[in-house]
Amino acid sequence: MRLRASRNVSRVVLERGQMSKKVVFFFPSFASSEATAPLGILAVATPLLRSGYSVTLIDSTITPRYKQRVLEEVKDAACLAISLVTGPMIRETVEIARAVKAWRRDFPIILGGWHPSLLPKQTLEAPYVDMVVRGQGEETLLELVQHLEARAPIDLIPGIGFKKNGKLVFTTERPLKPIVELPPKAYHLADFDAYERSCGRRWAMYISSLACPFNCAYCTNAGVYGRKWNALPPEQFVEETVDLTTRYGLEMVWVVDDNFLVDLDRARAIGEGLVRAGADFKWSIQATTNLTARLSLEDLRLLRRGGLHQICQGVDSGSEEILKRMNKTFQDFDSIYKSAARCLEAGIRPSFNIIFAYPGEGKKERRETIDFMMDVCRRFQGAEFWTNIFTPYPGSPIMERAEELGIRVPSSFEGWAEFFPR
Ligand code: B12
Ligand code: SF4
């Protein structure tokens, strides 16, 4: 296992002229107890490993004295690559990037993931950020690291931003690749024992489709992945999840697809395949209520036999007016009731998300939402609600109206650290 091996090799501090075949990844902690390996980093690590680079992953959630560890590991590395979303992850990103720059001002620091993809310019303006990767990072990061190693100009690598003579330069966008063309994730880099110690559960994330055909006004997805839903074939899903859970002794897989149920035949085939394979793990998905309601009770029972135990669904509001403002006209209340009833009958937990304080929500709309939640809970015991306070994210359609809605938009990278739904 490369990660473990890299800790034991005798460390050689490279002179500035030497080239390194090592990349250090840092994953700042999520303000969440759901600790498991960061899928974005496992994704971009594979092409590097295949091309002969060694990779060290430092996840601050499971690494005591993570700053010291980063400072030790970068000594013989080519660059430091950090993955982050908007919000509190920015705090540790800044802490680590500043510490590395204090050690060596010209050591390359690359930021990738959702926040740098949605706000590349503002992110790159931070003095301790040298390069940003926009969108899918598998090919881009490999090309970038190869160019850094060869000390070649990076101007023609699509999908990046960098600094040249004090100016910010952005290259052309890299076209999105369908998920079937992406390499497998480097799960062997994950220290599942440490994640289990941290959160009490042994689980992993898995992704089987990209994008979502809808365009909710608060959602950032279309800004990074577009709206062309594309997915892995059911056989691949079955083979990979069975292998993943068996290999690492996992009890659960969270399928992080934005909308797992777009292709119902695929979903049914996955259920059948898992039953046939005798799969012995629980899994959960995210899907819209309108698509969940299209599944029959038999379909849901089949998926349950295949291990599906929870469907997370974005109900978001109990007010017609707010749903309209959210551009969620594809969902009606009937589908929510249907979905709750059928999921429970099949033994699957329906989990519904609610967003309070969306622009336009007054006392009346809030009351409608609370009444709706109470009604669902009374009628469908076992249905659960997760509530959030609306947080505007860069790149979402509603942010285009930020000024009109009185949303305070941070003017610097660090300003976004406080953006967190409370
Ligand atoms: C899993 C997940 C979580 C998990 C994370 C667990 C973990 N250990 O990683 C948990 C539950 C903790 C979580 C929490 C939250 N999340 Co979340 N989450 C996701 C989800 C569903 C999947 C992420 C994922 O792994 N995808 C699969 C990987 C392979 O794709 P990827 O991350 O896009 O990575 C690719 C590129 O981005 C890039 N890349 C990624 N990292 C790097 C690094 C480098 C160096 C490079 C070069 C490239 C690169 O290359 C990768 C491969 O192509 C996404 C939605 C989504 N579709 O991705 C939301 C998402 C990331 N979450 C989001 C949000 C808003 C939150 C919360 C605020 C929600 C809340 N209500 O609390 C919190 C924030 C927590 C915090 N502290 O900041 C937003 C982020 C929006 C933004 N502007 O950043 C997303 C996009 C959902 C959405 N559509 O709004 N989340
Ligand atoms: S259904 Fe979910 S993933 Fe799709 S656009 Fe709406 S919030 Fe985003």
88 Cβ partners below 8 Å, 6+ apart?
Answer: 28, 29, 30, 31, 417, 420
The pLDDT tens digits of the residues spanning 253-275 come to 999 999 999 999 999 999 999 99
Residue 260 Cβ inside 6 Å of ligand 1? The answer reads no
Residue 214 Cβ inside 6 Å of ligand 2? The answer reads yes
Ligand nearest to the CA of 257: 1
Q: What is the DSSP letter of 168?
A: E
What pLDDT score does 18 carry? Answer: 55
The pLDDT tens digits of the residues spanning 105-118 come to 999 999 999 999 99
pTM of the model: 0.94
What pLDDT score does 422 carry? Answer: 58
What pLDDT score does 8 carry? Answer: 32
CA 202 to chain centre: 18
Q: How far is the first Cα of the chain from the last one, in angstroms, to the nearest whole number? A: 39
Residue 216 Cβ inside 6 Å of ligand 2? The answer reads yes
Res. 346: pLDDT tops 50: yes
316 Cβ partners below 8 Å, 6+ apart?
Answer: 216, 322, 323, 326, 328, 353, 354, 355, 358
Mean pLDDT, range 384-409, rounded to an integer: 90
Res. 72: pLDDT tops 90: yes
Residue 412: closest CA among 94, 81, 80, 29: 94
Mean pLDDT, range 90-118, rounded to an integer: 98
Mean pLDDT, range 58-62, rounded to an integer: 96
Q: What is the DSSP letter of 381?
A: B
As a whole-number percent, the residues of the chain with pLDDT over 70 amount to 95
- List the alpha helices (DSSP H) in 19-65: 39-50
Q: Write the residue with the smallest CA distance to atom 6 of ligand 2.
A: 216
Residue 221 Cβ inside 6 Å of ligand 1? The answer reads yes
Q: Write the residue with the smallest CA distance to atom 61 of ligand 1.
A: 85
Residue 215 Cβ inside 6 Å of ligand 2? The answer reads yes
The pLDDT tens digits of the residues spanning 287-301 come to 999 999 999 999 999
Q: What is the Å distance from ligand 2's center to 331 Cα?
A: 11
Residue 261 Cβ inside 6 Å of ligand 2? The answer reads no
Res. 55: pLDDT tops 90: yes
169 pLDDT band, cuts 50/70/90, is very high
Angle at 231 between CA 1 and CA 201, to 5 degrees: 45
Mean pLDDT, range 151-157, rounded to an integer: 97
* Lookup: tokens for 239: 């083979």
Residue 288 Cβ inside 6 Å of ligand 2? The answer reads yes
| E strands, 218-291, in order | 230-231, 252-255, 282-286
- Pick 33 or 400 by higher pLDDT: 400
412 pLDDT band, cuts 50/70/90, is very high
CA–CA separation, 392 and 398 (whole Å): 7
What pLDDT score does 4 carry? Answer: 36
What pLDDT score does 16 carry? Answer: 47
31 pLDDT band, cuts 50/70/90, is low
Which single residue is written with the structure tokens 């898995």? 206
* Under 8 Å between Cβ of 257 and 286: yes
Q: Which atom of ligand 1 is nearest to the CA of 83?
A: 43
Res. 386: pLDDT tops 90: yes
As a whole-number percent, the residues of the chain with pLDDT over 90 amount to 89
Segment holding 312, helix H or strand E: strand 308-316
CA–CA separation, 407 and 189 (whole Å): 40
Q: What is the Å distance from ligand 1's center to 21 Cα?
A: 27
* Under 8 Å between Cβ of 212 and 229: yes
Res. 187: pLDDT tops 50: yes
Q: What is the Å distance from ligand 2's center to 171 Cα?
A: 29
Res. 380: pLDDT tops 90: yes
Residue 183 Cβ inside 6 Å of ligand 1? The answer reads no
Of all residues in the chain, what percent are helix, strand and coil, respectively (each to 5)? 45, 20, 40
What pLDDT score does 405 carry? Answer: 87
The pLDDT tens digits of the residues spanning 207-247 come to 999 999 999 999 999 989 999 999 999 999 999 999 999 99
Adjacent-strand bridge partners of 58: 26
What pLDDT score does 418 carry? Answer: 85
The pLDDT tens digits of the residues spanning 279-329 come to 999 999 999 999 999 999 999 999 999 999 999 999 999 999 999 999 999
Res. 392: pLDDT tops 60: yes
What pLDDT score does 421 carry? Answer: 63
Per this entry, what is the length of the chain? 422
Mean pLDDT, range 71-84, rounded to an integer: 98
